[in-house]
Structure 1
Amino acid sequence: MNVSEREATVRRMLERTPPPVPPDLYGDVVRRGSRLLRRRTVALRVLWLALLAAALAFTVWASLARPWVEPPSTTTPPISDW
């Protein structure tokens, strides 16, 4: 099948009348779409909540562990009696 035959086939398909749509399809589509939207909204809220919990856990850990403070040196004893 060459290009012109394919184009002619596509034109014939597009010129035909579309098949009839079942009347109850609209209600099913709306129900399914709203369900998908609810699921997506719940998933996004759960992800934001998890991100917030991770940020809070990191903040608590950082305030307790204080990783930016240099640990005291243990290689030399303290100097006394000078």
Structure 2
Amino acid sequence: MIRDRGQDRKAAEVRRMLEGPHPPVPAGLADRAARRGARLLRVRRGVRRTAWWLAGTVFAAFLVWAGVEQPWLPEPAEVTPPLEGW
């Protein structure tokens, strides 16, 4: 019940704000907002492309390293076993 009263009070306050006189909007605000949004999208796209490129490069380097080093094979023995049965 207490929440309902709080939400009703907030809704009434928002309605009062929307019904009241609206402040003047600066000229060119929509154009500036559109330019800023386009710039943010370009930056995000560039960051995303760079991150994918970097991830692909790291993956390719890992594959080359794994192909050269072959870490799944056991290390060669330091001492050869004695020859028996010759």
Please indicate the TM-score interval, normalised by the length of the shorter structure: 0.7 to 0.9
Partners of 2:24 and 2:83 in 1: CA distance = 97
SS at match of 1:39: helix
TM-score by length of 1: 0.77
5 Å-filtered alignment, 1:44-55, equals 44-55=48-59
SS at match of 2:77: coil
The correspondence for 1:69, drawn from 70, 73, 76, is: 73
Instruction: Give the CA deviation at 1:64.
Output: 0.4
Question: Structure 1 residues 57, 22: closer, same or farther in 2, change over 3 A?
Answer: same
5 Å-filtered alignment, 1:33-44, equals 33-44=37-48
SS at match of 2:37: helix
Question: Structure 1 residues 46, 65: closer, same or farther in 2, change over 3 A?
Answer: same
Question: Structure 1 residues 8, 44: closer, same or farther in 2, change over 3 A?
Answer: closer
Partners of 2:84 and 2:13 in 1: CA distance = 101
**Where in structure 1 are there 5+ consecutive unaligned residues?**
none
CA displacement, residues 5-49 of structure 1 (integer Å, 9 cap, x when unaligned): 777655432321321212211111111111111100100000000
CA RMSD of aligned residues (A): 2.2
1:80 is the counterpart of 2:68: no
Q: How many residues align?
A: 80
1:30 — aligned with what? Answer: 34
Partners of 1:80 and 1:52 in 2: CA distance = 48
TM-score by length of 2: 0.74
